[in-house]
Every structure is written in C-alpha cells, then in structure tokens.
Amino acid sequence: MIRKYSFGTPLPTDAVVLSLPTEKSPLPFFNLSRSGDQLILTRKLHPEDRIFGLGESVRGINKRGFLYRSWNTDIPHHQETTESLYASHNFLLFFGPESLFGLYLDDPGRITWDLGFTRMDTAVITSENGDLDLYLIEEDSLTEIARSFRRLTGRSYLPPRWAFGYIQSRWGYASEESVRAVAAEHRKRGIPLDGICLDIDYMENYKNFSWRKDAFPDLNRFSEDMRRDHLRLIPIIDAGICAEEGYTPYDSGKAGGFFCRKADGSDFRAAVWPGSCCFPDFQREEVRRWFGDLYQPLLEAGVEGFWNDMNEPALFFTDSGVEEAFRKAEEVKSGSADYEEMWMLGDAFSHMSNNPEDYRSFYQQVNGRQVCHEKVHNLYGASMTRASAEGFRRFDPEKRFLLFSRSSFIGAHRNGGVWQGDNFSWWSHLKLALQMLPNLNLCGFLYSGCDLGGFGQNVTEDLLERFLQLGVFTPLMRNHSALGTREQEIFRFSSWEIMRDTVRVRYALLPFLYSEFMKAALSDGMYFRPLAFDYSEDPRAAAVEDQLLLGESCMIAPVMEQNSAGRYVYLPEDMLLVRFRSPEDYDCLPLEKGDHWIPFSLREFPLFVRKNHPLLLCRDEECSESLDDHSFTALCWMNRDVSSDLYRDDGFDSDPVLSEHLTRFSLNLSGDCPGSVPGVAKFPIVL
C-alpha cells in the first residue's frame, strides 16, 4: 500500500510515475512540525530499529547513527562524517520490532536526515523547502516495500549486455594512440575487455561534444577499428557548456535561451574545466531536447555509451566568489596577522569551489516559473541524464545505450546507471562501495559500481586486486583512476596474471550475472540486497554489514582488509562456497548455516550459492560478445532435483518482456554428477 501526502506546493521532480490521490488523513508514524519553511518529521526509534536507504551516502548499510544531508556535492575525499555525496536518494526503509515501512520524500531541495545522530533514540528529518510530496509504503516485507517503491518510481534502466564487460578508464588517455595501446595490451595479455572510457582529455579544450583533432583525428575510423576488436569507446560528457562564441553548442544554447540565469536575467557563469561555462536549464523540456540532440554526431560515429560527469553541478569558482576571496585577502593583509583570520583566508580560497552562495545565485525554469536553483539543486544531474536518455531514444528507440552518471536523484534510475562518484584508493572506500550497493538498488539504481582501484591517490597491488574481486559482481565493472596517480591498468602490475584471472571469472559468470540482473530489473526487484531482506527473522543476518545477497540465489562476501588471510562470513542458511582463483581453478565447499572463518589468499574470492540453486559458468572470452551463453558448467550443492531459469536476450532490445527470454532448465539428482565434492554436482549443460 502506497499513500501520498502533499505539503505546500511541491516542485515537479519526474521521480514518480504513478499518479496517486493525496491522503487527507493525518500522517502516521511521524510527528509533524513546521519551523519557517521547514517541514520536520520526528520519530522515536526502537533500540533494535534499522534504517536502510539513502542510496549513495557514507557509512553502513544500516544508516542509523549519523546525520546525512541531501545536497549533491563533488567530494572525492569523503570519509565517515561526510554528510553529502554526489547524489541524493530520499528513500528510507524503517525496519524494527514496531516498524516496517518505506518513506519517500519527493523533494529536490536540501533535506537533513538526523537518524539517531543528535539523539540515539530519535530520527528527525527536515525538508528545507517544506514543499513536497511524501509517500509512505507499507507491505508485508522489506522486499515487497522495495518492489512497491519501484512501481511508484518506474522500472530501472536497462544497460546493453556489453556494459557488463570489463571497462578500462583513466583520466589521462590523451590520444588515440594511448587508447589503442591500452586496448592492445589487454588483448595481448588475455585480459578481457569490452570498453574504454575517454575522460576529458579527448575534448578540444574540455568542450563538450568536441574532439581534439590533433590527438583523435578521425573518430569514425577509430570507433570502427575498436568495434572490430569488440571494444566500445565510452566518452565523458560534462554538464557545463563553455561560454565561447563560435562554439556551436554555446551559440545554439545562447540563441535558444537555454542556460540557467541570474536574477538580473543574464546567464549564470562559473569556471569548470573549459573555463567560464554556462549551465543548461535541464528542467525545461526544450533544453533537454536541444542537449540530447548534441549527442547525435557521436552516436552517428558509432559511440554506444557515455558517462555524464560534473553534474551536481560542480563549480570551481565564479567571478563573484573570486572577488570575495580577494576582498577578504586584502582585509586580512591590511590588518594584523591574526591566526584565525589567516586560517579563514585559506578557507576563503578553498571554499570558492561548490560554494552555497553560488548555488543560491541562479535560477531554473520550473513550469514556466523562475525557481532558485537551490530549491531544485539535487535534480540537476538527474535531469541531465534524462536529456541524454531522451536523445538516445530519439536516435534509436529500439536500442539500449550505456549511460552512467555521477550525480543523480530518484527518477534518474529509469534513464541511466550511476557510478559511485570519485573515490580514493582507500580500503575504507572499498568497504563503502560494497555498503552503498544495496541502498542504491533499493533506490532503483541497479546498474552501478565504484571506480575500481580508487580514482584519487595511488593504489597498491593488493588493493586493486581486492577492488576487482568486488567488481566481478558489480554490474558496472570499471577500473578508473585520476591523472597524476599511479597508473592503474591491470597490466602495469607484477601480479597482473592474478588480476587477469579475476576479470576472467567475471566473464565466465557474465551470462549468469546478466540473467540475475535482468530478472531483477524486469521484475522491479533488487540485484544486490542486504541480508535482512531475505532473512528478516534472523537478527544476525539483519546486522551483517559486509556481505550482500546477489540475485535469486547468491551471496558475496569480499575480503576488504589489507594483509588479511581470510575473513569471517555469516551464512544465513546452508550454502555452497565457490572459492575462485580463475574460471578453471576454484574450490567448492558445502558450508552449513552459521559462522565461518574462511581462508582467502590474495588471489582468492568467494561466491556463495544457496543449496539447491545452480550456478552457471561459461567459458570466458576476451569480450562479452564472444561468450557462448548456451554451454555451461553447472555447479550445485543439491539434495533434490532442482530447476531454474536463465534470462537471455540480444543484449540491446530496449523493452524486453521477461517471460519471453527465460529458458527453464533442470538438474537431476540422479543424473550425471561427476563433481569431486560429495553432494556438489558439477557437469556440463547446454541450454
């Protein structure tokens, strides 16, 4: 049951697809109050209450015990007390002895989520706008609440199948040659690869939709050559449009009046990579159409995937911000060198970036009305993604394109995936990546992953390997790193063969994982789930913070600590441990429900499979297109006949019907079962 409550004059967000009547009865579960414009929801928490949700945010799967702020922010150096990340996903799920409901705040402005931070026993949620639609969802289970929420907000984005391949990326591939060399090195060493991301280096002076003719002389030919080698180019597109007369996107945007404006009617400008930029007002349909069509030449050149970046929007600085900082500098310089003032001066310059003042200084058109950007800030990236996706659909409505974005808002999950934003080569960010995944799924973002190895700072060999071992299971499996950091391609490291074998396992699992993903997406389910979803009666399972359920039958539990020789795993039921070293080299170990310490060398990682549920491995190949999704090795710990479904399609169909693509298959207990481990079947099947 979904109930809608409305407060004030909500701004449209495109998040919800169901049209529901507004409840007249008082809001249950929360104490409601107002303070100025603010709407404040308060709820006493039971000591055993857990809170899931908030998609991309710091801390655990259970969000209790901290204060989060919905305010999309570019912040690569995030740590456990960072209140805002790149995205805002305003959905919470309360789960406890007296609570089982979902809460969605359809509000694109600032929201504060004090989930037992100020007081351990109280949640206080504050909307700054105060104008919003609020949805309460009650069902019999966590899983059903999540499904209802997806029906409310619409089906998750479907990427093409090749987007489940391994993707290599780095800020710094500054020429066609460097990209070709990276590709060739992967092919030469047998490291599977499906795509290479182009970061801002490929653009002419970082201008969107441009192409450095010196370094990338012929995009068409380059793209064709790569495709012949089963590789896709995946260029970046940033939010800001360089304010340079003669640059076509600027001229057409200016002529159309498509940019965000200041109160005086002039275009808002801020410096980003290309220098002074204007920012498309993506809230307007005609702006999205104009922007979406800008992708067309790249699509025509054969590009089938993009990543949208800098769309919080990140702002390096504005003229007025610079003036203000220098004014402060003058003030301090002429005064005495007091240390507090000197410190504030450092802040004055570093706070020029993503300055709240700047976000308050421009306007967007919402339903023909000028609305301060601050009130719709968290929609910006989502609306850019929508513009792109609408453009792709106009270009080819039958086909799926790859699209993933840094900034997002619920609703964007229908149009693209997300990566988890710029991160660091930190072990803590590896764990955070895992912990964000189920909450992103809950908010609709099934196609997701983190920058494997870490974007900023220098990775170590063991950290990259452990990141890859998580990445084997994330729909987006991208190795990405920043200019100036240690080169992070697998082949740079002495233990590259171990990492290659890890990626090869991904390819051996790809048809199975793709099937699990598509089944989840097409049934409004979750690909990754907290253990609480399937084992809600088991308090031990509900508290697990470093393991995830995957699809219908699997659980992952990656090693996420340096120098560890293994890890503890809690099995909520009997499961088969498959400990991988390569597609050919793995152990099968049936394990009983309960606690286990399991040794894992650096090259080993586990997948757990529920009893009487089959796992399918195919022969790995150098690219996803070459995979044979008919012949498999089936692994199953079974004590009865089992049957299951494999989802297969052409990898591109934009509107597949689930039932039309399922192939039913059975494993018979009495059949040919030549596994070497008693009770564990392992045999070839052809579907």
Which spans of this chain sit near its own copies (rule: CB under 8 A)?
Answer: 50, 59-60, 62, 64-66, 79-81, 116-117, 119-121, 271-273, 275, 316-317, 319, 322, 326, 329, 333, 337-339, 342-343, 345-350, 352, 424-428, 457-458, 460-463, 494-495, 539-540, 543, 545, 561-565, 568, 570, 595, 597
Q: Yes or no: say if 437 and 429 are a contact pair by the CB < 8 Å rule.
A: no
The SS3 call for residue 295 is coil
Burial of 119 (0-12, 13-18, 19+ CB in 10 A): exposed
Distance between CA 382 and CA 405 in Å, rounded? 8
* β-strand pairing of 594-599 with 566-571: antiparallel
Residue closer to its own copies by CB (options 60, 165) is 60
Contact 100, 138 (CB under 8 A): yes
C-beta closer to its own copies: residue 345 or 673: 345
Q: Closest separation between CB of residue 460 and its own copies, Å?
A: 6
CA dihedral (60, 55, 465, 624) positive or negative: positive
- In terms of CB distance, is 222 or 570 closer to its own copies? 570
Token pair belonging to 500: 């290659």
Q: Are 213 and 176 in contact (CB under 8 A)?
A: no
Q: Cis omega (within 30 of 0) on the bond before 160?
A: no
Which residue's structure tokens are 């799967």? 61
347 or 650, CB closer to its own copies? 347
Q: Which is nearer to its own copies, 64 or 232 (CB)?
A: 64
In the bound complex, what is the minimum distance in angstroms from residue 116's beta carbon to its own copies?
Answer: 8
Structure tokens at 143: 């899983």
In whole angstroms, how close is the CB of 271 to its own copies at the nearest point?
Answer: 5
**Residue 252: Cβ-neighbour burial (10 angstroms; 0-12, 13-18, 19+):** middle
Our CB check for its own copies shows the closer of 334 and 659 to be 334
Q: Residue 51 Cβ, how far from its own copies at the closest point, in Å?
A: 10
Judged by beta carbon, residue 29 or residue 568, the one nearer its own copies is: 568
Residue 670 burial by CB count (10 A; 0-12/13-18/19+): exposed, middle or buried?
A: exposed
CA distances from 456 to 170, 295, 682 (A): 11, 28, 42
Kindly tell me which of 62 and 448 has the beta carbon lying closer to its own copies.
62
Q: How far is the CB of 91 from its own copies (least distance, A)?
A: 19
Residue 8 Cβ, how far from its own copies at the closest point, in Å?
A: 31
Distance between CA atoms of 92 and 108, rounded to whole angstroms? 16
Q: Which is nearer to its own copies, 112 or 385 (CB)?
A: 112
Gap between the Cα atoms of 663 and 649, Å rounded: 10
Residues listed for the chain: 687
Cα distance between residue 410 and residue 414, in whole Å:
9
Pick 100 or 352: Cβ nearer its own copies: 352
Number of C-beta neighbours around residue 363 at 10 A: 21
User: Other CB atoms closer than 10 Å to residue 657's CB: what's the count?
Assistant: 10
Q: How far is the CB of 545 from its own copies (least distance, A)?
A: 7
CB of 267 to its own copies, least distance (A): 17
* 457 vs 479, beta carbon nearer its own copies: 457
Minimum Å gap between C-beta 30 and its own copies is: 21
Report the residue number, 19 or 81, with the smaller CB distance to its own copies.
Answer: 81
Closest to its own copies by CB, 541 vs 627, is 541
- Taking the CA atoms of 373, 423, 513 and 101 in sequence, report the sign of the dihedral they define: negative
CB of 261 to its own copies, least distance (A): 21
- What's the token pair of residue 477? 């499996």
Give the separation between CA 626 and CA 161, rounded to whole angstroms.
Answer: 12
The nearest distance, CB 277 to its own copies, in angstroms, is: 11
Asked whether the beta carbons of 575 and 638 are under 8 A apart, the reply is: no
| Residue 158 vs 569, nearer CB to its own copies | 569
Q: Are 99 and 138 in contact (CB under 8 A)?
A: no
For the CB of residue 632, give the shortest distance to its own copies in the complex, in Å. Answer: 34
19 vs 563, beta carbon nearer its own copies: 563
Beta strands in 368-487 (DSSP E): 369-372, 402-405, 417-419, 448-449, 451-452, 477-479
Q: Strands 402-405, 417-419: parallel, antiparallel or unpaired by DSSP?
A: parallel
Strand partners, 568: 597
From edge to edge, which strands make up the β-sheet containing 362-366?
261-262, 362-366, 369-372
Burial class (CB in 10 A: 0-12, 13-18, 19+), 391: buried
- Residue 92 Cβ, how far from its own copies at the closest point, in Å? 15
Beta strand 195-198 pairing with 232-238: parallel
Closest CA to 592 of 574, 616, 572: 574
Q: Which residues contact 375 (CB under 8 A, 6 or more apart)?
A: 11, 108, 109, 129
Distance in Å, CB of 671 to its own copies, minimum: 37
The C-alpha atoms of residue 407 and residue 645 are separated, in whole angstroms, by 35
Nearest Cα to Cα of residue 366 among 385, 382, 384, 379? 379
- Min CB(492)–its own copies separation in Å: 12
Shortest Å distance, C-beta 421 to its own copies: 17
Q: Which is nearer to its own copies, 171 or 445 (CB)?
A: 171
Question: CB of 572: closest distance to its own copies in angstroms?
Answer: 13
Of residues 11 and 544, the one with the C-beta less far from its own copies = 544
